Amino acid sequence: MDELPLDIISLESGRAIDRAAIEQAGIPGYTLMTLAAQAALRECLAFFPDRRRWQIVCGAGNNAGDGYVLARLARQSGIEVSVRYLSDPAALTGDAAQAYADFAASGAEARVWEGQLDEQAELIVDAILGSGLDRDVGGAFADAINAINAHPAPVVAIDIPSGIHGESGKRLGTAIEAALTVCFVSLKPGLFLADGIAATGRLRFDGLGIPQNCRAQADVVMRRIDEQQLHAALPPRRKDANKGDFGHVIVIGGGRGMPGAVRLCAEAALRTGAGKVSVATWPGHADALLAACPELMVHGVEKAEQLLPLLDSADVIAFGPGLGRSAWSENLYAQVAGQGLPAVWDADALNLLAAQPEGSRAANVGPRIITPHPGEAARLLNLTSRAVQDDRLTSVQSLQREYGGVAVLKGAASLVATANAVPLVCTAGNPGMATAGMGDVLTGVIAALLAQGLPLESAAPMGVLAHALAGDRAARQGERGMLASDLLRELRAVVNGQRDD
C-alpha cells in the first residue's frame, strides 16, 4: 500500500483522475478495478489474517464491482467467501458488469440479500455504496447497513464507508461503522470530517499506480499536516546555543482555584523547547506552582498593571488556561488584548473574546493563534456546537476570517486555517486525548514553537501535530485513562525527532 498522501481532494477531482488514467494514461477501467480489489485483499489479509470466512455485501455501481472482483480473488486465495447483493447484478453496466461476469464464470454464486447475514462470518466487506452518494440511505440498503453494524465481525469498507457523504463526511441516514477502510485513487474529504472520522476506522490508501501527471489539476480541499515539516522546523541546535535563543513564553491564567491548567501549559512549553517560561497567575497559586516545577518563573498577579513588566520581557503570550470568568480575568483580558506580541489564546480567553462587541474582536491584536474546541468555536461564531461539528471545515475558515491570524479547531482530526491557504488537517491523535487539560498542553506546545522562531502559519499546525504524536506515544499503554500530563513525558522525544518504534 501507498503512504497516505498529503493532499485531500474534491470528489470531482478524484473522478477526473480516474478519467485521465483511462483516457490519457491508457489504463483500462477494469484494470483499475482489479488493482483496487487486489489492494483490498492485501489489507484484509494483513489486518485480519486469521479470519477465513468472509461475507461480502455488494450494492450498485463500481463499488459493487470492486466487491465482486474482491470476492473472486479472495476465493482464489483460499478464503471461504459468500456474497449477498442488494442490486440485481443483471442491471450492472460497464466495468462492474464485467466484474460480476468474471465472478460468476469462476464458479461462484451471489445470492440476493434477504435480511440476514451469515452468523458465522468472521469478516464482512462493505461494497454497497461509493463516495458519490448524495441522499439518505433507505430501504434494503439501510437495513443491510444496520445489520452489518450489528454483526460481531469486523467490517472492511471499500473506498469509503457506505452511507458517509464523500465531501462533508455526514452520515446520510445510516452508515457503515468500519474497522478498516481501504481507499483508492485519492483521499476523500468525508473521511476526515463529521461522522466520517469515526466511521472510517483504520485508513489505508492505494493510488493504483496512476501516474502523477494525471493528478496535476486536482482541487485540493484540505492538506494533511506533514510530519517531515515538523522535523525540518526543529533541526538540531547549535553547540553554542543559550536559553535566550529559544524565546521566553509567558503563560497568563490560572484564576482562583484553577492552578492546574497554567502548570500543564507552562510545562508543555518547557518540554517543547522554550528557553524560558514565566507564569502570571492568581497570587495564591504561586508558591505551589514553583514547588511543583522549579524551572518555571512564577509571578502572583493581583492587578492587571502588574503584567506590564512581565510582558516587556516576554517574546510570546499563552493566554487563557484556567483563566476563569471574573473581574480579575476581565482586567487581565483588557491588558493582554492590546499587546502586539505573538500569542496563543485558549479557553476563557476565547470566551471573553466572544463576548466583545462585534467589530472589535480582531482590533489592536498582534499575531494571534486561537485554539477553540467546538463549544468555544460555537460561541465565537454565534452558532451551536452541533452546527460547528456538522461543518468543521467551514467553521475553521470562518474563525480565521473573523478573528484574523490562525485558527485551530480542536477535536478529532483537528483543523488549522490560515489566510489564503488550504486548510490543514491532523490525522494523528487518538480518543484517549479526549480528557481535561489536553488543550492546555496544546497551547503550551504552540507557544513554545512560536518562541523558537516559527511563524504563526507553521507554529499552529506543527504544534497540533507534535501534540497529537505525543498523545499517540502515550497511548501505547492504552487510551482509556490517559492524562494530559502523560503527554509531557512524550513531547521531548517528539520535538527531537525520535521515532516511535
Which pLDDT belongs to residue 338?
Answer: 83
Which pLDDT belongs to residue 357?
Answer: 76
Which pLDDT belongs to residue 364?
Answer: 56
Query: Residue 2 pairs with which residues in a beta bridge?
Result: 205
CA 224 to chain centre: 8
Q: What is the pLDDT of residues 402-451, one digit of tens each?
A: 999 999 999 999 999 999 999 999 999 999 999 999 999 999 999 999 99
Sheet holding 123-127, edge to edge: 110-112, 80-85, 53-58, 123-127, 155-158, 180-184, 202-206
Q: Give me the percent of the chain exceeding a pLDDT of 90.
A: 94
185-195 per-residue burial string, b: 16 or more CB within 10 A, e: under 16: bbbbbbbbbbb
Q: CA separation (Å) from 355 to 333, 365, 372, 401, 404?
A: 12, 16, 14, 17, 17
Does the pLDDT of residue 32 top 80, yes or no? yes
What is the pTM for the complete model shown? 0.95
CA separation for the pair 294, 297 (Å, rounded)? 8
- Give the chain's radius of gyration (CA, Å): 26
Which pLDDT belongs to residue 313?
Answer: 96
CA separation for the pair 128, 161 (Å, rounded)? 9
Does the pLDDT of residue 479 top 80, yes or no? yes
* Crossing angle of helices 259-271 and 438-451, rounded to 10°: 40
Which pLDDT belongs to residue 363?
Answer: 54
* Crossing angle of helices 438-451 and 456-474, rounded to 10°: 140
Amino acid at the residue 128: I
Question: How big is the CA angle at 307 (ends 380 and 263), to the nearest 5 degrees?
Answer: 70
Q: 380 with 402: CB under 8 angstroms?
A: yes
Average pLDDT for the chain: 95
Q: What is the pLDDT of residues 214-254, one digit of tens each?
A: 998 899 999 999 999 999 999 999 999 999 999 999 999 99
Sheet holding 7-9, edge to edge: 7-9, 220-224, 424-425, 415-417, 406-409, 368-370, 343-345, 316-319, 248-252, 276-281, 297-300
- CB proximity list for 430: less than 8 A, separation 6 or greater: 471, 472, 475, 479
CA separation for the pair 253, 230 (Å, rounded)? 28
CA separation for the pair 122, 155 (Å, rounded)? 9
Mean of the pLDDT values across residues 41-45? Answer: 98
First to last CA, the chain: 20
- CB proximity list for 2: less than 8 A, separation 6 or greater: 205, 206, 207
**336 vs 358, residue with greater confidence:** 336
Which of 37, 16, 490 minimizes the C-alpha distance to 271? 490
Length of the chain, in residues:
501
CA separation for the pair 263, 322 (Å, rounded)? 10
Q: What is the pLDDT of residues 89-123, one digit of tens each?
A: 999 999 999 999 999 999 999 999 999 999 999 99
The model's confidence at residue 366, banded by pLDDT at 50, 70 and 90, is confident
Does the pLDDT of residue 500 top 90, yes or no? no
Q: What is the pLDDT of residues 114-166, one digit of tens each?
A: 999 999 999 999 999 999 899 999 999 999 999 999 999 999 999 999 999 99
Q: 219 with 13: CB under 8 angstroms?
A: yes
Which pLDDT belongs to residue 482?
Answer: 98
CA separation for the pair 74, 444 (Å, rounded)? 50
**498 vs 9, residue with greater confidence:** 9
Which pLDDT belongs to residue 201?
Answer: 97
Q: 344 with 447: CB under 8 angstroms?
A: yes
**359 vs 138, residue with greater confidence:** 138
Q: Give me the percent of the chain exceeding a pLDDT of 70.
A: 98
Q: State the DSSP string of 62-99.
A: HHHHHHHHHHHHHHHTT-EEEEEESS-GGG--HHHHHH
Q: What is the pLDDT of residues 181-225, one digit of tens each?
A: 999 999 999 999 999 999 999 999 999 999 999 998 899 999 999
Mean of the pLDDT values across residues 362-373? Answer: 83
